[in-house]
């Protein structure tokens, strides 16, 4: 693991651009090394701005996405295509405009998906997908970068202070109920 580095920017747009530039370099470096790159996406204003800036970086450099795997750190448990889903926003900002194999995009289940009507089942299914991708090396793949945002109420990845998910030590993915920020159910 590398040493933490603090990067200060003047505003959200500059932060998104800086993060996107660093991500693009890491993705290209992984390709040069002949290895897969596992990126965990986040939602939120700056998270989605970062993905849009990464899309622009990718277009400018014609970088390859064939080795990149996209995962989600959390998701609002809503129907597929709902405007508030992190997946929907990520597709609009980045995924729909890059040449990434469909099998390399690993969205969390939607509330209207097959066998995913319950958030607990969706969490279990996503956890299993992570375990399969880890290829026996642990409960999740070795993520190269995990993008996370911090909500104004101090939640990170739909883990809200005071809710049970914060205290989970075993499961890689949990269902969240009674979120203080809509929607109330998340994964």
Per-residue model confidence as pLDDT tens digits over 95-127? 999 999 999 999 999 999 766 669 999 999 999
- Closest residue by Cα to residue 35 from 71, 1, 69, 7: 69
> What is the pTM assigned to this prediction?
0.94
183 part of a folded domain = no
DSSP string across 153-185: TS-BTTB-TTSGGGG--S-SS--B-S-SSSSS-
187 part of a folded domain = no
182 part of a folded domain = no
Residue 18 has which token pair?
A: 């800086």
Structural domain range at position 97: 12-167
124 part of a folded domain = yes
Beta strands in the chain (DSSP E): 37-41, 68-72, 145-146
54 part of a folded domain = yes
Contact 50, 16 (CB under 8 A): yes
Looking at the structure of the chain, the number of domains it has is: 1
102 part of a folded domain = yes
Tens of pLDDT, residue by residue over 42-83, are: 999 999 999 999 999 999 888 999 999 999 999 999 999 999
Q: In this structure, what CATH number is given to the domain that contains residue 106? A: 3.40.50.1360
24 part of a folded domain = yes
51 part of a folded domain = yes
């Amino acid at each position: 693991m590398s040493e933490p580095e603090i990067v200060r920017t003047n505003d959200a747009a500059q932060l998104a651009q800086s993060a996107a530039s660093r991500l693009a370099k890491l993705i290209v470096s992984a390709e040069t090394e002949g290895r897969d790159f596992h990126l965990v996406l986040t939602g939120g204003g700056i998270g989605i701005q970062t993905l849009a800036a990464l899309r622009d970086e990718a277009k400018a450099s014609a970088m390859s996405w064939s080795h990149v795997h996209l995962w989600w750190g959390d998701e609002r448990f809503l129907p597929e295509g709902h405007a508030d889903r992190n997946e929907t926003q990520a597709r609009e900002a980045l995924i729909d405009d890059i040449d990434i194999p469909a099998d390399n995009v690993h969205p969390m289940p939607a509330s209207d998906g097959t066998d995913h009507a319950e958030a607990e089942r969706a969490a279990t299914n996503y956890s299993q997908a992570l375990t399969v991708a880890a290829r026996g090396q642990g409960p999740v793949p070795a993520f190269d970068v995990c993008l996370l945002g911090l909500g104004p109420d101090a939640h990170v990845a739909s883990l809200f202070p005071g809710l049970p998910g914060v205290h989970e030590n075993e499961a890689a993915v949990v269902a969240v109920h009674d979120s203080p920020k809509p929607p109330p159910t998340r994964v």
